[in-house]
Amino acid sequence: MEWIHKRNVLIVGLGLIGGSYARALKRLGYRVTALDKKESAIRYALDHRIIDAGVTSPEPDVLGSADAVIFALYPGVFVEWIRDNQHLLKSGAMLTDVTGVKSCIVYDIQNMLRPDLEFIAAHPMAGREVYGVENSDDRIFRDANYIVVPTEKNTEEGIAWCRELGQILGFAHIGVLTPEEHDEMIGFVSQLTHCIAIALMTCSENRHLAEFTGDSFRDLTRIARINDVMWSELFLKNKEPLLRQMDTFLREFASLRDLLEAEDAEGLRQKMRLSTERRGYFDKEV
Amino acid sequence: MEWIHKRNVLIVGLGLIGGSYARALKRLGYRVTALDKKESAIRYALDHRIIDAGVTSPEPDVLGSADAVIFALYPGVFVEWIRDNQHLLKSGAMLTDVTGVKSCIVYDIQNMLRPDLEFIAAHPMAGREVYGVENSDDRIFRDANYIVVPTEKNTEEGIAWCRELGQILGFAHIGVLTPEEHDEMIGFVSQLTHCIAIALMTCSENRHLAEFTGDSFRDLTRIARINDVMWSELFLKNKEPLLRQMDTFLREFASLRDLLEAEDAEGLRQKMRLSTERRGYFDKEV
């Protein structure tokens, strides 16, 4: 398989996800090197044998010996990194990423990339409400989805390689979407739901209600604990798809509100029956 | 304690909650009788020894021998039941309920009640997404809140009795709120969150996205599977408090949307930091 020929893996950005990739790949026998500007992250990963080697700046010999490079950076930093450092990468290296938005970066990167390199985008839909390599854990991949996001510039070999990466990392389900399909999907499934949880927490000072909340309220607001720097960037980079989703939700919520104001019991029940029916589709996939 | 003198307990309405009360009280040694118009519910409960006796209509000797009566009915049906059947109840009997809305029923019932009976309202904040005595299980009370909802018409003895009922049923936390405080709280903690989950499910045909959803989406929409007859009545009976909560949420969600449209990164981050801070209060209470 393709992966046999990619023994040296470089992970750029050693946080929660980068660290989790490192743990899985090292255990599978790859030589894993990490680049992270934070000395403490590299130190921790070396001490805990999560990586084989690590550097805090893009050293030419490290970049030049990587067969595969996995970028686990914020979107803006990722694009800059490619622009500034791609000349140091080994000819024929395969590049992939873990970024949560796609259209806004994939085309830019593929257009500026050296012709002897291939970047095939991916989104591992796994995460936790904690951060940093200290909390990394590749068990988070087990029940999660991994989306390969190819464009016309990708080769069959690149797509197969990226898909196999998801498989060996242990993801439960591998999907393939275009950048546009991905961003529409993630706008609904992830970003809209985070917006809802945020608004529910910020709409009023509800501290005095904490003692009365049950499991369903806690489930619904668990994601209201959010990394503001990362998520504000993800929202802004996916502005148009997310705005469409937010507007669709706003209209629907307002119409539910109007049914209540009009005391339209049958209208409310219809909404509830549709909700129950649709929610059923989501359970079947578990 | 008060409960020693209330050996004969009558449960009116033998569904998920009524059945769960019956299981707990029977195990504690009370003689539990149930009234439910559904023959199949009574039959099931007798076959599974959830109750000691059961009837499908308000038989005078059953009503006349109950020391305590627990109403587990929909709000409208509950008020009618009291009007039609209270003359059959034993003098000195204590009455309580499990209804999810309070202001709209508590005053009406207390105003029409015979002076030799006391009704002290309660809301056991426990439930499941399934229904009926067949799914009853008093373990649902273990981590849940039980709210006693007294008015000026209640005696100290009645309040103590109702609180003790919550304790012997095994609730983790017993609280006391006025009917108005209860309805405001339940509008936010429970009804608003159900409205959000419904609107998220009904706002678009998302069946094709089911394969991409993760745990956080499933957590957020678990309550979108909803009993339309019960919940439409609960929403309508709590119309004003719920409308206030929905409008507050709508305004906040719209302002988050406007920050995104204006590409106000710092504004978005402020909302996320506030959200993270407030969510912290809710974890401390677990």
Measured distance CA(B197)–CA(B217) in Å, rounded: 10
Which chain B residue's Cα is nearest to A227? B272
Cα–Cα distance for residue pair B206/A244, rounded to 1 Å: 14
Residues B215 and B198 in one domain: yes
**CA dist., res. A281 & res. B205, Å (int):** 11
Instruction: Specify whether the CB–CB gap between A220 and A198 falls below 8 A.
Output: no
Q: Give CA–CA dist B214/A222, Å, rounded.
A: 13
Q: What is the mean pLDDT of chain A?
A: 93
Closest-approach residue (CA) in chain B for A285: B211
CB contact under 8 A, A202 and B286: no
Tokens representing residue A90 in the block: 């080994």
Q: Please tell me whether residues B167 and B193 are part of one structural domain.
A: no
Based on the fold, state whether residues B45 and B80 are members of the same structural domain: yes
The DSSP bridge partners found for residue B147 are B123, B175
Residue partners of A111: CB distance under 8 A and separation at least 6? none
B2/B18 Cα distance (integer angstroms): 21
Q: Tell me, what's the pLDDT at A1?
A: 47
B56 and B39 fall within a common domain: yes
Chain A residues close to B264, C-beta within 8 Å = none
Domain count, chain A: 2
Write the residue in B219, B226, B233 that is nearest to A219 by C-beta.
Answer: B219
Contact A4, A123 (CB under 8 A): no
Q: Which residues of chain A have pLDDT under 50?
A: 1, 285-286
Question: Is the alpha carbon torsion for A268, A274, A279, A284 positive or negative?
Answer: positive
CB contact under 8 A, A202 and B271: yes
Q: Among B203, B207, B215, select the one facing A281 at the smallest CB separation.
A: B207
Cross-strand bridge partners of residue A193 = none
Rounded distance between C-alpha atoms, residue A127 and residue A136, angstroms = 9
Sign of the Cα torsion B94, B98, B103, B105 reads negative
Residues of A in contact with B199 (CB under 8 A): 249, 252-253, 256
Closest-CA distance, B248 to chain A, in angstroms, reads 6
pLDDT of residue B128: 79
Tokens 């989501």, located at residue: A282
Other beta carbons within 10 angstroms of residue B42's beta carbon come to 21
Same-domain pairing of B132 and B221:
no
In the chain, the amino acid numbered B248 is T
Tens digits of residue pLDDT in A244-257: 999 999 999 999 99
Run of H or E residues at B71: strand B68-71
**What pTM was computed for the model?**
0.89
Name beta bridge partners: B192: none
Say if residue A166 is in the same domain as residue A189.
no
Does the distance separating the beta carbons of A232 and B265 come in below 8 Å?
A: yes
> Per residue in A50-62, is it b (16+ CB within 10 Å) or e — as a string?
bbbebbeebeeeb
* Domain end residue (candidates: B152, B177, B202): B177
Please say whether the dihedral angle defined by the alpha carbons of residues A130, A135, A136 and A140, taken in this order, is positive or negative: negative
Distance from CA of B115 to the nearest CA of A (A): 32
- Identify whether residues A74 and A204 lie together within a single domain: no
Counting one residue from chain A and one from chain B, the pairs whose CB atoms sit within 8 A come to 274
- Whether residues B211 and A145 touch (CB distance < 8 A) is answered with yes
B211–A173 CB contact, under 8 Å? yes
Closest alpha carbon to A35 in A17, A62, A6: A62
pLDDT tens per residue, range A133-174:
999 999 999 989 999 999 999 999 999 999 999 999 999 999
CB-CB neighbors (< 8 A) of B229 in chain A: 269
The reply to whether residue B207 touches residue A242, judged by beta carbons under 8 angstroms, is: no
Same domain membership, residue A82 and residue A215:
no
On chain A, the residues whose CB falls within 8 A of the CB of B181 are none
Name the helix (H) or strand (E) containing A94. Answer: strand A94-97
CB contact (8 A) between residue A225 and residue B280 = yes
Whether the CB-CB separation of A283 and B201 falls below 8 Å is answered with no
DSSP state of A93: -
Q: Which of A220, A226, A252 sits opposite B219 (nearest CB)?
A: A220
Instruction: Please tell me which residue of chain A has the smallest CA distance to B240.
Output: A261
- Nearest Cα of chain B lies from the Cα of A60 at a distance, in angstroms, of 35
Pair (A257, A272) in one structural domain: yes
Mutate to test the interface with A, among B102, B213, B261 (most CBs of A within 10 A): B213
Closest CA to A195 of B246, B255, B247, B265: B255
- Decide if A252 and B190 are in contact by the 8 Å CB cutoff: no
pLDDT for the residue numbered B1: 47
Q: Nearest by CB to B210, which of A246, A269, A282?
A: A282
Model pLDDT, residue B286: 43
Sign for the CA dihedral angle at A171, A172, A178, A180 comes to negative
Could you say which DSSP state residue B262 is in?
T
Task: State how far the Cα of B186 lies from the Cα of A275, in Å rounded to an integer.
Answer: 21
Test A198 with B256 for CB contact under 8 angstroms: yes
Q: Which residue, A157, A177, A197, sits at the end of a domain?
A: A177
Q: Exposed, middle or buried, A111 (CB in 10 Å: 0-12/13-18/19+)? A: exposed
Name residues whose C-beta falls within 8 Å of residue A115's C-beta, 6 or more positions apart in sequence.
none
Buried b (16+ CB within 10 A) or exposed e, A236-251: bbbeebbbebbebbbe
Q: Check: CB of residue B15 under 8 Å from CB of residue B132.
A: yes
CB-based burial, B83-113: b 16+ in 10 Å, e otherwise: eebbeebbeebbbbbbbbbbbbbbeebbeeb
Residue A80 shares a structural domain with residue A212: no
* pLDDT < 50 stretches in chain B: 1, 285-286
Are residue B40 and residue B87 in the same domain, yes or no?
yes
Chain A CB contacts of B278 below 8 Å: 201-202, 205-207, 224
| DSSP classification of residue A177 | -
Contact A274 B125 (CB under 8 A): no
- Taking the C-alpha atoms of residue A24 and residue A140, their distance in angstroms, rounded to an integer, is 11
Other Cβ atoms less than 10 A from the Cβ of B183: the count is 25
Strands of B173-176's sheet in order across: B121-125, B145-149, B173-176
How close, in Å, is residue B120 to chain A by CA atoms?
Answer: 19
Assign residue A114 the CATH number of its domain. Answer: 3.40.50.720
- State the nearest Cα–Cα gap between A41 and chain B, in angstroms: 24
Nearest CA to CA, how far is A275 from chain B (Å)?
Answer: 5
Q: Nearest Cα to B200, choosing from B188, B183, B216?
A: B216
Nearest-Cα distance to chain A for B12, in Å, is 25
Last residue of a domain, which of A177, A194, A221?
A: A177
Picking from B275, B277, B285 by the largest number of A CB atoms within 10 A of its own CB, the best residue to mutate is B275
Nearest CA in chain A to B125: A214
Integer Cα distance of A65 and B279 in angstroms: 45
Measured in degrees and rounded to the nearest 5, phi and psi for residue A176 equal: -130, 130
With beta carbons under 8 A apart, name residues in chain A contacting B233.
265
- Which chain B residue lies closest to A229 (C-alpha atoms)? B269
Mark yes or no for CB contact A224/B279 under 8 Å: yes
- Pick from A201, A213, A257: CB nearest B243: A257
**For residue A193, how many other CB atoms are within 10 A of its CB?**
23
Q: Which residues constitute the domain of residue A33?
A: 2-177
- Same domain? For A60 and A79 the reply is yes
Q: Tell me the shortest Cα–Cα distance from B225 to chain A, in angstroms.
A: 4
Q: Please give the helix or strand (H or E) that residue B79 lies within, else none.
A: helix B75-85
How many residues would you count in chain A? 286
CATH of the domain at A191: 1.10.3660.10
Write down the ipTM of this complex.
0.90
Contact call for B228 and A252, based on CB within 8 A: no
